[in-house]
Amino acid sequence: MAEQRRDQRGERDAREGVRDVPERWGRGVSTEVAHAWEALVATARRTVADGLVVGTSGNVSVRVGDTVLVTPSGVPYDRLRPEDVTGVDLDGRQVLGTLVPTSELPMHLAIHRTTDARAVVHTHAVHATAVSTLVPELPAIHYMAGALGGPVRVAPYATYGSEELAENMLHALADRTACLLQNHGTMAYGGTLDQAYDRTAQLEWMCRLWLTASSVPGLSPTLLSSQQLAEAGDKLRGYGQRQ
| Residue 97, amino acid | G
Question: Inter-axis angle of helices 31-49 and 193-214, to 10 degrees?
Answer: 20
Pick the catalytic residue from 104, 164, 167, 231. 104
Q: In what order do the strands lie in the sheet with 87-89?
A: 94-96, 87-89, 67-70, 59-64, 119-123, 185-190, 178-181, 154-155
Q: 143: burial class by Cβ within 10 Å (0-12, 13-18, 19+)?
A: middle
| Residue 34, amino acid | A
167 is catalytic: no
**Phi, psi angles (nearest 5°) of residue 240:** 95, -175
Helix, strand, or coil here: 68?
Answer: strand
Among residues 97, 114, 123, which one has the least CA distance to residue 43? Answer: 123
Rounded distance between C-alpha atoms, residue 33 and residue 29, angstroms: 6
Rounded distance between C-alpha atoms, residue 117 and residue 87, angstroms: 16
Cβ-contact 199, 178 below 8 angstroms? yes
DSSP letters along 149-178, please? TSSPBEEPP--TT-HHHHHHHHHHTTT-SE
Which residues are tagged catalytic? Answer: 104
